[in-house]
Amino acid sequence: MTQPVPFDARPVLATLPNLPGVYRMLDAEGSVLYVGKAIDLKKRVSSYFQKSDLSPRIQLMVRQIAAIETTVTRSEAEALILENNLIKALAPRYNILFRDDKSYPYLMLSAHAYPQMAYYRGELKRPHQYFGPFPNSYAVRESIQILQKVFRLRTCEDSVFANRSRPCLLFQIKRCSGPCTGEIGEEAYREDVRNAAAFLQGKQSELIDGLTRRMMAASEALEFEKAAELRDQVQALARVQEKQFVSSNHSQLDCDVVAVVLEEGMVCVNLVMIRGGRHLGDKSFFPNNPDDTDASANLEAFLAQHYLGAPLPPVIIVNAQIGDTLRDYLVEQAERRLAIVSNPIGERRVWLEMAEKNASLALSQRAATRATQNARLSALVEALELEQAQRFECFDISHTMGEATVASCVVYDKGAMQSSEYRRFNIETAKPGDDYAAMREVLTRRYSRLAEGEGVLPDVVLIDGGKGQVGIACEVLSELGLQLPIVGIAKGEERKPGLETLILPYLQKTIQLPRDHPGLHLIQTIRDEAHRFAITGHRARRAKARTLSTLEDIPGIGPRRRQLLLTRFGGLRGVKAASIEDLARVEGISHTLAEAIYNALH
């Protein structure tokens, strides 16, 4: 086997300009290894081939370079934006990468006459009110539960709200004031909405004072029932205020706290979100390809990938220095005063220390999990009699009596499930209910490309099935010229976990591991994830097929009218709940057609 010719950088370096821009390092197959920005392209790119103190990670990258591409920009700020976009689009192997999770959840108060309170993700649209972002869905739902208890705002969909003839259970248990059936007037309901918005904006103290004054006034006017309701609201708000983890002297402060911690070769960035003085929760991020020696590099990568092109709070507190270019661009993007504080004092110092402690705790937990995963992996590799194995791909088939067959492929690699590499396959050629043909189709589609060198081959292929499915897998891989260990996972007696039989055709034998074997636990984890991913896809495909066919069966309903109906009423359930008059209000639906739709669905 001939050795690859070392890359000669001199011709490229000789032509590089002394201008700002972005450079891309490519390997022999044309894949992008690294994307970087520079004030001076010539000096920056030359440094990779002239310096002797490069980190081991960068040294390894340089040895793989086969080509260099550059793009000149008008300024370093423009290079920063281009670099960030390319990193997200290409996910280079040697860049510090944070999972893109820009779609943070919000709590929405709609702009209806009786506003709906709802969990929301996506583009913010006027004239609705949005509060957040929240670090996770749990924080949003917790806030919704608080507001339901205190202010009793509706959470039902518009289609349900418009068609209620009597209050729902939430009204009975005092979690909704019943605006759908006129149990509360519009102005009184709007007052509750204003109070809920004040609470979400961090004005708890002012809100409690105002409600207390109203309670006293109602009591003096001998309106004791109204006074009791206000008393309950005051007490509930006081309890919520006592539970706040962050106590801020700036009651309406919006702030993000970002702390990066490096321990034992691992990196964690902890993001704490504070809105209206309320601690909404935190979230820990673990980058791919981290620089475990440079806190500033990891922090800059997170800030760029998290905030560029996204809404910014007025204050960001960090625990490491960042470059002037990134700082200046974030300030310019904010279009208002933005403070990036790296050496906070007082309560802000306490918040930063809290974020650092959260990051350290997350790293400790991750290290413990990694040790457990390594033990499980080692035990499994030993049980399968393999020299080594890191990457597993597992396949499962899901259908209901042959309907809407879906196959899943899940990936376990680097000590964890790699959800971004999961794939689903809608089975088209196999006859309904023929699991063997379905397995042949999915394996052929999956490994035809991999056999041609596109993508990464697994070390082990797991098949959720018995000898029949395993035999099909062996045939397909043999036809494609691939020699990969195949392991079948046959369900045990009464399909009980722990009684699985592992079929090992490459050893021409079967084994049954003890129920407490760490390797069996890993197999079960991967197999269960493949099953979950397959059945989720199957149910979605089946529901879509049934939804479409139900409306398609009605004469006069084509694709456009079907889409208008589903959009207007939020799905088939909403269409079924609609009255004939509501259906007739949809564009293109006459009263006669509305009657036909109603009769067909009831």
Tell me, yes or no, whether 384 lies in a domain.
Answer: no
Residue 133 lies in a domain: yes
Domain-embedded: residue 17 = yes
Q: What is the amino acid identity at position 306? A: H
> What is the sign of the dihedral through the CA atoms of 336, 342, 343 and 344?
positive
What's the CA gap between 560 and 588, in Å, rounded? 9
Judgement on whether residues 453 and 523 belong to the same structural domain of the protein = yes
Neighbours of 145 (CB within 10 A): 12
Give the sheet arrangement for strand 129-131, strand by strand.
117-120, 106-109, 129-131
96-136 pLDDT tens trace = 888 655 567 888 889 888 899 888 887 778 888 887 777 77
Burial of 127 (0-12, 13-18, 19+ CB in 10 A): exposed
Looking at the structure, tell me whether residues 112 and 229 fall in a common domain: yes
| Residue 561, CA distances (Å) to 554, 576, 578, 583, 602 in order | 11, 15, 15, 11, 19
Task: Give the domain extent around 20.
Answer: 10-90
At residue 547, the pLDDT reads 59
In this structure, are 138 and 57 located in the same domain?
no
One domain for residues 404 and 516? yes
Cross-strand bridge partners of residue 346? none
Greater confidence (515 vs 208) lies with 515
489 beta partners: 502
Q: Are residues 400 and 307 in the same domain?
A: no
For β-strands 315-318 and 339-341, DSSP reports them as parallel
Greater confidence (556 vs 1) lies with 556
pLDDT at 248: 46
Hey, what amino acid is at 346?
G
| Listed residue (18, 11, 80, 84) closest to 49, CA to CA | 11
- Does 473 lie in the same domain as 340? no
Q: Smallest Cα–Cα separation from 139: which of 104, 164, 87?
A: 104
Average pLDDT value over all residues in the chain? 84
Cα–Cα distance between 325 and 13 in angstroms, integer?
25
Residues 497-508 have a mean pLDDT of: 89
pLDDT for res 524? 92
Strand partners, 396: 408
Are 308 and 278 contained in the same domain?
yes
Structure tokens at 490: 């046959």
Q: Beta strand pairing status for 21-26 and 32-38? A: antiparallel
Segment 342-355 mean pLDDT? 87
Does residue 535 come out as left (phi exceeding 0), alpha (psi in the -120 to 50 range) or beta? Answer: alpha
Question: According to the model, what pLDDT value does residue 408 have?
Answer: 94
Which value, in Å, is the radius of gyration of the alpha carbons in the chain?
30
Cβ contacts of 441-446, under 8 Å, gap ≥ 24: 441/407, 442/395, 442/397, 442/407, 442/409, 443/395, 443/472, 443/473, 443/476, 443/477, 444/476, 444/480, 446/393, 446/395, 446/409
* Contact yes or no for 205/231 (Cβ under 8 A): no
Assess if residue 494 is contained within a domain.
yes
pLDDT in tens, 384-403: 999 899 999 999 999 877 77
- Please tell me the least confidently modeled range out of 73-87, 281-295, 539-553: 539-553
CATH number at residue 41: 3.40.1440.10
Quick check: 390 and 522 in contact, CB under 8 A? no
CATH number at residue 567: 1.10.150.20
User: For 86-98, what is each residue's pLDDT tens digit?
Assistant: 888 888 988 888 8
pLDDT at 204 (0 to 100): 67
Assess whether pLDDT exceeds 80 at residue 460: yes
Q: 412-438, pLDDT tens digit by residue?
A: 998 889 988 999 999 888 888 889 999
Position 421 in a domain = yes
In a domain, 385, yes or no: no
- Percentage of residues in the chain having pLDDT higher than 70: 93
* Closest CA relative to residue 484, chosen from 514, 462, 467: 462
Query: Does residue 558 carry a pLDDT above 90?
Result: no
Q: Is residue 303 part of a domain?
A: yes
CB of 405 closer than 8 Å to CB of 399: yes
Q: Quick one: three-class SS letters along 539-582?
A: HHHHHHHHHHHHHHCCCCCCHHHHHHHHHHHCCHHHHHHCCHHH
Of 359, 363, 383, 381, nearest to 371 (Cα)? Answer: 363
How far apart (Å, rounded) are the C-alpha atoms in residues 37 and 41?
A: 8
Strand partners, 406: 398, 426
Minimal CA–CA distance to 143: which of 256, 275, 313? 275
Distance CA 388, CA 459 (A): 8
Residues 403 and 527 in one domain: yes
Host H or E run for residue 38: strand 32-38
Tokens of 78: 């423009």
DSSP type of residue 177: -
Tell me whether strands 266-275 and 255-263 are parallel, antiparallel or unpaired. Answer: antiparallel
Question: Is 249 a domain residue?
Answer: no
> Residue 2's pLDDT band (boundaries 50, 70, 90)?
very low
211-242 pLDDT, tens digit each: 788 788 877 778 777 787 777 777 766 655 54
What's the number of domains the chain is made of? 5
Same domain, 533 and 401: yes
The CA–CA distances, whole Å, from 542 to 37, 119, 576 equal 48, 26, 18
Higher confidence at residue 497 or residue 507?
507
Query: What average pLDDT score do residues 373-391 get?
Result: 91
- If asked whether residues 404 and 354 sit together in one domain, one would say no
Per the structure block, which two tokens stand in for 439?
């397995």
pLDDT at 528: 92
Q: How far apart are CA 355 and CA 348, in angstroms?
A: 11
Q: Are residues 82 and 125 in the same domain?
A: no
Per-residue model confidence (pLDDT) at position 505: 95
Tell me the Ramachandran region of residue 264: left when phi exceeds 0, alpha when psi lies from -120 to 50, beta otherwise.
left
d(CA 454, CA 447) in angstroms, rounded, equals: 9
Q: Distance between CA 147 and CA 136 in Å, rounded?
A: 18
Q: In terms of domains, do 116 and 213 share one? A: yes
Each residue's pLDDT tens digit, 298-339:
999 999 988 887 778 889 999 999 988 898 888 888 877 889
Largest CA distance in the chain: 97
Phi and psi torsions of 108, nearest 5°: -110, 135
Please give the average per-residue pLDDT across 52-62, as a whole number.
81
pLDDT of 134-171, one tens digit each? 777 777 887 888 788 778 889 888 888 888 888 888 88
